[in-house]
Amino acid sequence: MRPLEDIRILSLEQYGAGPFGSLHLAHLGADVIKIEDPGVGGDVGRYVPPYQEGQDSLFFESFNHDKRSICLDIRNPAGRAVFEELVPHADAVYSNLRGDVPEKLGIRYADLKHLNPRIVCCSLSGFGMTGPRSTEPGYDYVLQGYAGWMSLTGDPDGPPEKTGPSLVDYSGGFVAALSLLAGVHAARRDGVGSDCDVSLYDTAISLLTYPATWHLTGGYTPGRTRRSAHPSLVPFQAFPAKDGWLIIGCAKEKFWQRLVGVLGRPELAEDPRFVTFADRAEHRDELEPILDAALAERTVDEWLAALHEVSVPCSPVNDVAHALAEEHTIARGLVVTTEHPRWGEVRQVGSPARAGAMPAEHKRAPLLGEHTGEVLREQLGYDDDTIARLTRDGAFGASD
Inter-helix orientation angle 77-86/384-392, to 10°: 140
Enumerate the β-bridge partners of residue 345.
339
Q: Does the active-site annotation cover 384?
A: no
Cα within 13 Å of Cα(295), Cβ side: 26
Stated as kind and residue range, the H or E segment containing 203 is helix 200-206
How far are the Cα atoms of 84, 166, 315, 368, 386 from residue 35, in angstroms, in the given order?
A: 13, 24, 42, 10, 19
Spell out a b/e string for 213-251, using b for 16 or more CB atoms within 10 Å of the CB, else e. Answer: ebeeeeeeeeebbeeebebbbbbbbebebeeeebbbbbe
Spell out a b/e string for 311-321, using b for 16 or more CB atoms within 10 Å of the CB, else e. Answer: ebebbbeeeee
Catalytic choice (31, 169, 195, 197): 169
- Catalytic (active-site) positions: 169
